[in-house]
C-alpha cells in the first residue's frame, strides 16, 4: 500500500499537429512511458483526478503533476471541464484510443496488492476503528483488505487472520486466537456501564439504584451473555420476567437504546462516540472491565502492509486515549 514514486517521462515522440494521420498518433502513444500512460487512462476512465489517484494508490498532486508534464511534452491539452464534469479533449480522446489500441501489444503495469485479513471485535470496529479504516480505504482504492468482525469467543477461535484486535480479560489476552501469534499488545482498558438515551431520562429522574431499573426495559447483546466480567449485568437481565429484549446485533442494541428508551450495557467511552447517550454509574458495586488486545499472526507474509495497519490501530487508540480509563 506504499505510494508509487513519480515516473519520469521517457521517449515521448516530438510534437505533431492534431491534423496528422492515425499512424502519427500511434507512434506518439507508443513512445509514452507505460506508467504515465496508465495514469492517463485511469484518469480518463474515472473522470475524476481524486478517484484516479485513489485507484492508483498515489497522491493526487503527483498524478496532476505527471499529467501536466505529459501535456507539456505533447503540447496538447488532454482534459477539459464541461460544467463541473471532467472530460477528455479531442486530442485526449485520440490519445486514449491509440493507447487502448496498444493494449494488446504491451501490458501496462499493474501493482498487485496483497490480501490482508484483519479481524476486529465488532464493538471496536463499530465504535473506534471503523472511521479510520474508511479513511484509509478512501486514500487507497487499490487496497485488498478483508475485514472480519469478531462477534463471539467462538468466532475468535475459528478465524484465521494476519492481524487480530479482540477483547479479553483486563490482565490476560485469553481467550485469544487459536493460531500462533506474536506477543499480544495490551491496548486500552475499557469499563462498562449501563447507558440510556438523554432524551428519555431527565437528570432529576435518572435511575440511581437497581430498583429504579424496574421501570425501564433492558436490552442485552447476546454476545455479552458469555462474558464473565459482565456477570452483575447478566444476572440482572436473567432475573427479569418482563421488560427485557435480547438481540444478536450490536448496532440494533445501540438503536434500541437511542430510540426505544431501553437501558443497555455499553463501554464507558460511549458518550464520546454518541453524545446522545449517557452512562448510569453507581448501579453495581462490582466493576465490569475488559481490555483490547492486538496481535500479529506469527506467520504473517506481508510485513510492511500489516505493520501499516498496526500503526493505524495504535494511532487510533492513542488519539482516543481520553476515552479510556
Task: Tell me: do 119 and 97 sit in the same domain.
Answer: no
Task: Tell me: do 147 and 293 sit in the same domain.
Answer: yes
Higher pLDDT, 43 or 21: 43
- Residues facing residue 296 across a β-bridge: 163
Question: What's the confidence (pLDDT) of residue 51?
Answer: 86
Task: Tell me: do 150 and 230 sit in the same domain.
Answer: yes
Q: Give the chain's mean pLDDT.
A: 85
- The span from the CA of 317 to the CA of 67, in Å, is 39
Task: Tell me: do 119 and 251 sit in the same domain.
Answer: yes
Task: Tell me: do 96 and 127 sit in the same domain.
Answer: no
| % of the chain residues with pLDDT over 70 | 88
Task: Tell me: do 131 and 156 sit in the same domain.
Answer: yes
- The span from the CA of 267 to the CA of 257, in Å, is 13
Question: What's the confidence (pLDDT) of residue 11?
Answer: 39
Number of structural domains found in the chain: 2
- pLDDT single digits (tens) 274-309: 999 999 999 999 999 999 999 999 999 899 999 999
Has residue 14 been placed in a domain?
no
Domain end point (choices 101, 127, 162): 101
- The span from the CA of 217 to the CA of 257, in Å, is 9
Mean pLDDT of all residues in 72-92: 85
Q: Is the pLDDT of residue 198 over 60?
A: yes
According to the per-residue pLDDT averaged within each range, which of 42-46, 86-90, 104-108, 251-255 is highest?
251-255
Task: Tell me: do 184 and 284 sit in the same domain.
Answer: yes
Question: What's the confidence (pLDDT) of residue 97?
Answer: 82
Q: Domain range spanning residue 44?
A: 22-101
Question: What's the confidence (pLDDT) of residue 27?
Answer: 67
DSSP state of 297: B
Has residue 28 been placed in a domain?
yes
Residue 324 phi/psi, 5-degree rounding, is -110, 165
pTM of structure: 0.69
For the domain that residue 77 is a member of, what is the CATH number? Answer: 1.10.10.10
Question: What's the confidence (pLDDT) of residue 109?
Answer: 55
Task: Tell me: do 197 and 260 sit in the same domain.
Answer: yes
Task: Tell me: do 294 and 179 sit in the same domain.
Answer: yes
Domain end point (choices 73, 101, 129): 101
- pLDDT single digits (tens) 141-172: 778 899 999 988 888 888 889 999 999 998 99
Task: Tell me: do 91 and 125 sit in the same domain.
Answer: no
For the domain that residue 245 is a member of, what is the CATH number? Answer: 3.40.190.290
Has residue 107 been placed in a domain?
no
State the DSSP H helix or E strand holding residue 45, giving kind and residue range, or none if neither: helix 34-46
Mean pLDDT of all residues in 103-127: 79
Task: Tell me: do 156 and 49 sit in the same domain.
Answer: no
DSSP state of 104: T
Task: Tell me: do 268 and 310 sit in the same domain.
Answer: yes
Query: 168 by DSSP, 3-state: which?
Result: strand
Joined together, the cell numbers standing for residue 325 give 480509563
Angle value at C-alpha 307, between 303 and 308, nearest 5 degrees: 120
Amino acid at each position: 500500500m506504499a505510494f508509487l514514486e513519480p515516473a519520469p517521462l521517457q521517449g515521448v515522440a516530438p510534437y505533431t499537429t492534431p491534423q496528422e494521420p492515425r499512424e502519427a498518433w500511434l507512434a506518439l502513444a507508443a513512445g509514452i512511458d507505460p506508467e504515465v500512460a496508465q495514469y492517463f487512462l485511469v484518469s480518463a476512465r474515472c473522470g475524476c483526478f481524486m478517484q484516479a489517484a485513489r485507484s492508483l494508490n498515489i497522491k493526487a498532486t503527483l498524478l496532476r503533476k505527471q499529467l501536466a508534464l505529459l501535456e507539456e511534452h505533447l503540447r496538447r491539452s488532454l482534459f477539459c471541464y464541461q460544467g463541473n464534469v471532467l472530460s477528455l479533449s479531442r486530442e485526449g480522446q485520440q490519445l486514449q484510443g491509440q493507447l487502448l489500441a496498444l493494449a494488446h501489444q504491451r501490458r501496462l503495469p499493474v501493482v498487485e496488492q496483497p490480501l490482508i485479513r484483519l479481524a476486529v471485535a465488532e464493538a471496536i470496529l463499530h465504535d473506534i476503528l471503523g472511521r479510520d479504516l474508511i479513511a484509509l480505504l478512501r486514500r487507497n482504492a487499490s487496497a485488498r483488505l478483508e475485514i472480519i468482525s469478531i462477534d463471539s469467543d467462538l468466532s475468535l477461535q475459528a478465524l484465521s487472520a494476519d492481524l487480530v484486535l479482540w477483547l479479553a480479560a483486563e490482565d490476560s489476552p485469553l481467550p485469544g486466537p487459536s493460531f500462533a501469534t506474536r506477543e499480544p499488545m495490551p491496548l486500552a482498558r475499557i469499563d462498562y456501564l449501563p447507558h440510556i438515551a438523554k432524551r428519555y431520562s431527565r437528570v432529576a429522574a435518572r435511575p440511581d439504584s437497581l430498583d429504579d431499573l424496574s421501570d425501564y426495559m433492558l436490552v442485552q447483546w447476546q454476545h455479552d451473555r458469555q462474558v464473565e466480567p459482565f456477570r452483575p449485568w447478566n444476572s440482572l437481565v436473567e432475573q427479569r420476567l418482563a421488560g427485557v429484549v435480547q438481540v444478536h446485533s450490536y448496532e440494533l442494541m445501540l438503536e434500541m437504546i437511542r430510540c426505544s428508551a431501553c437501558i443497555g450495557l455499553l463501554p464507558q467511552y460511549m458518550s464520546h462516540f454518541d453524545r446522545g447517550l449517557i452512562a448510569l454509574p453507581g448501579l453495581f458495586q462490582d466493576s465490569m472491565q475488559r481490555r483490547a488486545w492486538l496481535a500479529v499472526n506469527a506467520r504473517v507474509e506481508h510485513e510492511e502492509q500489516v505493520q501499516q495497519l498496526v500503526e493505524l490501530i495504535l494511532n487510533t487508540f492513542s488519539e482516543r486515549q481520553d476515552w479510556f480509563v
